[in-house]
Amino acid sequence: MASFREFNFHREKWSPYLMDVFNCLHNMPEPGWQEIMTTSFLKDNLERLGYETITYHDCTGVLGVRGNGSFTVALRADMDALCHQTDTGQRMIHSCGHDAHMAMVLTAAAALMELPLPAGTRVKIIFQPAEEKGEGALRLVEKGAVDDVSFLFGVHLRPGQELPGGQASPAILNGAAYLINGEIQGVSAHGARPHLGVNVIEVAAALVQMLHALRWDPLQPASIKMTRINAGTEAGNIIPDRAIFTLDLRAQTNQQLKELVQKVESVASNVAAAYGAVITLTRGIDMPAAEVSKEARDIMARAITDTVGPENLAPPILTPGAEDFHFYTRLRPHIKATMLGLGCDLYPGLHHPGMQFERAYLLDGAEILARAVWYACTET
């Protein structure tokens, strides 16, 4: 059986490979479920490395598989970009770093091809579409992509406010997120006779005020925000009778999020009754909080220490941001999973159209991921 000392990541070889891959992916940003060029690029590169590939006729994304047996260790990267309004119009931009995630995972996959796998072991490389829509992981679970996976490792660049460049964390403790789409039905009337109508803008304002008045344990981060509202027409002298809105709920645990949803439903019911309106709530995106495997986290911590030294091993990161990676463990609880948090001097922040980071740190990420897979394959 191989030991830790036998792993050798040839940085001088993989550095130019990673940068070439990153530059190609950076220049082909595509939205969720439309990552057609990205899927083709990754499939070609996986096959060139020697992986068997799996694609789907009804969605984007690609899997690379190497080896045979019942013990499978997987690496996952998300693929989709985001649409931003810029000075030159709407543009697709990899403002969440998915181009970097794919480049690190593909480089790790390349490095792992130089190592013989133990008998009965498989490595699976998962390039997942539509993370930003909160749907990609669900689709791959439905397709059985992770049914055979024992260990699953992911990665995400971290903002400079969370983690400085050169440091890495063995787990990202993402919070849970829940989007609620709502509709308010009121009664239209002339602007001179507001008492004859039910003004949905006033109802929405009352709803926001009541939601802001909710209280919960201050030691458990959570928030409720109205992030979209549309009401009224071009005619400014009509009491509007219909509004649509979206609420963004965040909590650090799945149980806490469940309690927030119940509070929102109660507040909406009470506000509607007070104004004589009808408020209808429908479920939108529901992203679970992280549930990290201690065994997977310990493997990742060892990989970090062996790559960048113990002085650059950071503790697990607590963050309110959501990530659909955690659907894999919610729906397939046998999977032992964690996500690498990579510090790379990323500013001003994720999902910002001007997001920048120090690309040299991506090589650290690729080596850490390759080591984590190798350690899981050979030492567990």
Residues of the binding site: 96, 98, 132, 156, 351
* Distance, CA of 371 to CA of 379 (rounded, Å): 11
Query: What backbone torsions phi and psi does residue 53 show, to the nearest 5 degrees?
Result: -120, 150
* Distance, CA of 373 to CA of 375 (rounded, Å): 6
**At 227, which amino acid appears?**
T
Please enumerate in sequence order all residues whose Cβ is within 8 A of that of 64, keeping only pairs 6 or more positions apart, or say none: 46, 49, 51, 52, 53, 54, 109, 124, 125, 127
* Distance, CA of 176 to CA of 320 (rounded, Å): 7
Cα 349 to chain centroid distance, Å, stands at 15
Q: How many CB atoms lie within 10 A of CB 10?
A: 11
Tracing tokens 């790559």 back to the chain, one arrives at 307
| Segment (H or E) for 62 | strand 62-67
* Distance, CA of 335 to CA of 354 (rounded, Å): 36
Q: Give binding residues for Mn(2+) as ranges.
A: 96, 98, 132, 156, 351
Give the length of the chain: 380
Q: Are strands 222-231 and 242-251 parallel, antiparallel or unpaired?
A: antiparallel
* Distance, CA of 56 to CA of 346 (rounded, Å): 34
List Cα–Cα distances, 112 to 14, 53, 74, 107, 235, in angstroms.
Answer: 11, 16, 12, 9, 64
Please enumerate in sequence order all residues whose Cβ is within 8 A of that of 6, keeping only pairs 6 or more positions apart, or say none: none
Contact between 75 and 62 (Cβ < 8 Å): no
* Distance, CA of 127 to CA of 109 (rounded, Å): 12
Cα 329 to chain centroid distance, Å, stands at 14
Contact between 73 and 379 (Cβ < 8 Å): no
**At 364, which amino acid appears?**
D
